[in-house]
A and B are shown apart, each in its own frame.
Chain A
Amino acid sequence: MYRVLMATALLVLAATASGQNVSREEIRGLDEQIQDVKQDVISLTSELNRLEEKLLFPSNTQAAFFISLAASDEFSLESVELKLNNQVVAHHLYTFREIEALQKGGVQRIYTANVQTGAHPLEVSYFGKSKSGKEYRGTASYSVDKAVGPKFVEIKIAANQSAIDFQDW
């Protein structure tokens, strides 16, 4: 009995089960094929993204809006609302991972529109909280001057100062 129990301890501790019935070569071969198909799909995705943009948002009418956060991990963005030409075009509630990605310097494309050349009023509102739980709200307006080429507008939320900065790209 003692030997039986001790032998089972071996099984408990050496819990590094691996595919005994699957050879290493087979695993490696399959893994490489999966990598190949991933590469193919990435190429296809790039091309499809370009096609989609060309079809749905041609450069002469395209206007894209991006959200970024000023460098601070004290502030947590909860939601953002965009009004373009006095109409709500985007309302986004942020997940934890999205907030984290913004805090690490990521930029979120929140909305892509098709607009004619000329000036378009943009109104941005946000709601967020500090680490201590203090709530912050802010609203700012901007005139988007759309020319012939595509228009990219960065909306930088500066958190604690309750400020929103706009930058044309």
Chain B
Amino acid sequence: MRFRLRNGIAGAALAALCAVPAAAKTSVDPTALHTEELRDLFFGEALFNAHQDKYLDAIAGLDTELKQFRLLDDPELDPFSLHFGQAEFAVGDLELSYRMHREAGRAMEAVINGDVPQPIKNEAAYRLAKIHYHKQQPANALHALELIEGRVPERVRADEQFLRARVYMQLGRFEEAVALLKELKGDTKAESLAGFVEYNLGIALLKLGEIEKGVVELDSLGRNAGRSEATAALQDKTNLLLGYQLMEAQEYQRARTYFDRVQLSGPFSNQALLGAGWVEANAGRYDRALVPWRLLSQRQNTNAAVQEAMLAVPYAYGKLDVHSTAAVNYGQALELFGSQVDVLTDSINSIREGKLLEALRRKEASQVKNWVVALRKLPDAPETHYLLDLMASNDFQEFLRNYQDLNDLLERNQTWLQSLDAFEEIIAVRRGYYEPILPGLDVEFRQIDARIKMRLEQRQRLAARIDNLLVNRHPQLLAKSEETESRLILERIREILAHNPSLNSGETEARVARLEGVLNFRLSREFDDRLTEAYRHLQALDGVIATLQETYQHYVRRRQAATHSYQGYRDQIATLRAGLNRAQNRIEQLMARQGRMLEQLAIDELDQRRAQLESYQIKARFALADSYDRANELQEQRTDVRKVAEYQQQVQALKQSEPDHETPSGENPPAQEAPGSEEVVGDE
């Protein structure tokens, strides 16, 4: 039974430890969200949001850009065309990060089935495989990987191989996984995966039954995985795994070495201390087992390993026959378990009252690191230290993120609904302002419009006349008003003279002809200059007309803008409001369901821990009673021994007081107490 249980522990440890690296590396692919040269500001804005994990804003921004781009007549002329392919991938990646796996999968499948070059299809197949892997569907992931023809782009090649190896591992095809991981281990392009490759290789070898090779692989990683926080944790995890693996194989000395390698302040230190104690206890060295266990028992007392150590310490004292110390420790453990059972009961009640969900909805939950741990400080909040292991599980994390996402959507929609009210108010104000003044303005506009048209016609007539003058020279057409007047007077004189020839004389004729000659001469002489000046005036007129037309266009635009600022929104806003309200109803329902699942998970976890503590309480009570019995028994034995010794001393004294029966000293010394017994029980 003892070893069956131990096998179970090691197996469970292996499974638990395998899970974390397998779930790693599912974040956004940075290549899709990086550009050397930005050619579109709005793509840059989407990147700005994406790099802050504001996925909804980033996806909405890119979606809008992609939609607008697809509607363009000449998309190749738009600067966004340079980011188009990248943006499509980026949307898929962002959807993946926003846990919209179906949409991301559809996007990638569209690329695979589309008319694009094979390397792009290969990359899409790799990303699709990643989605399936993340959704714990290894068979589908492998199917997607098999769609890859030839090689994937260089920058994702190592990741693709690593993913393939992990898929093989999940499908139990460890030989293929080992072959791939060995190849990847020596690859310089897989530096970002350093540590994870070795870890998975070690696990695959262990699963394949090549225990020694697996241990050697992990041993090397356990010595030096790297300096970063992540690799230091991986190193601890590896050593912990090796410790339990070797303890299972009853190699206690070697197992202890690995437990000792785990950092005392790291996240795996509690389990390592517990394991180190068990290694010594298994080897029968209970005094040495006490060292790590006692250290562990002084740590955060909500930790399961610490609570176990609270029982393990007196257990070891009992084995060392120090029953009274064991009893004291059992008493302390009982006290702790009692108080923690109450804490757990209060926590369960608090969760049932909705305090956990209330705390998770607060803004800090997504902004402050370890907020869920910190929320225990809030009044009436549950003791979240008990939920730490649960919180590390995939299910809880997914539920939590979904719940927080839904809450975010609910709040966003609420803000939009308020905005829609404000928009309607703005529209009403604009309508109230423009509608009364627009008819009057329109009348004025029509008058101006008629005047402009008239001026344009005049200008056209003038231009035509000037053009005609270039071909047919008519100086009188460029005469000034006084010259025209003079010409008309002379014509009148000619008419009068024609009707009354008696008035005519040679002198009159000569004078009229002279005046006509002077006039014609002047007109003829100044014709070219006047024509040039007429052109100049026409050009000046063009400027005036251009200004007039600009004013006209400006007015038209303002008129349209004024109309567009309040017309045509009613239906759109009504549709959007209805859409938002529908979404709100669905979100509330989904939040309630997701919240219930979260609460259920937390209550189950706390219930389980409470049951465990209650079971500890029962065992501790029995063990306490047993320790008291044994301690009393020992005490009685020691009292008996002491009484016998005192009796012997008295007998000796009596003998010495009788002179007839004097005995030489040193021949019959008094009985001594058991050596060291007082020292051991000195604290009782």
Q: Which residues of A are interface residues toward B (Cβ below 8 A)? A: 1-22, 26-27, 30-35, 37-52, 55-56, 58, 60-61, 66, 68, 97-98, 100-102, 104-109, 148, 152, 154, 169
Contact = CB atoms under 8 A, between A and B. Distances in A.
Given A58-B565, A106-B48, A17 B605 contact: yes
Given A98-B52, A154-B41, A19 B60 contact: no
A21 B64 contact: no
A82 to B, nearest CB: 16
B597 interface: yes
Contacts of B13: 13-14
Contacts, number: 232
A60 to B, nearest CB: 6
Nearest to A104: B51
B154 to A, nearest CB: 21
Given A1-B623, A2-B2, A51-B573, A106 B49 contact: yes
B423 A18 contact: no
A48 B422 CA distance: 13
B398 interface: yes
A3 B47 CA distance: 56
A52 B419 CA distance: 9
B6 A6 contact: yes
A43 B60 CA distance: 7
Nearest to A2: B2
Nearest to B67: A46
B364 interface: no
B59 interface: yes
A38 B57 CA distance: 12
Interface of B: 1-2, 5-6, 8-9, 12-13, 15-16, 19, 33-35, 38, 41, 44-45, 47-53, 56-57, 59-61, 63-64, 67, 98-103, 244, 271, 274, 278, 304-305, 308, 311-312, 315, 318, 389-390, 392-396, 398, 402, 405-406, 409, 412-413, 416, 419, 423, 426-427, 557, 561, 564-565, 569, 572-573, 576, 579-580, 583, 586-587, 590, 593-594, 597, 600-601, 604-605, 608, 612, 615-616, 619, 623
Nearest to B13: A13
Nearest to A30: B593
A109 B41 CA distance: 9
A33 B589 CA distance: 10
A40 B426 CA distance: 26
A59 B396 CA distance: 46
Contacts of B600: 19, 21-22
Contacts of A51: 423, 569, 572-573, 576
B63 A106 contact: no
Contact of B44 (A5, A47, A58, A105): A105
A37 B409 contact: yes
Given A9-B9, A68-B38, A148-B557, A3 B1 contact: yes
A15 B586 contact: no
B96 to A, nearest CB: 11
21 contacts: A1-B619, A2-B315, A6-B2, A6-B6, A6-B9, A9-B278, A11-B304, A12-B271, A15-B389, A17-B390, A17-B393, A22-B597, A30-B597, A41-B412, A41-B413, A41-B587, A51-B423, A51-B573, A55-B565, A100-B51, A105-B35
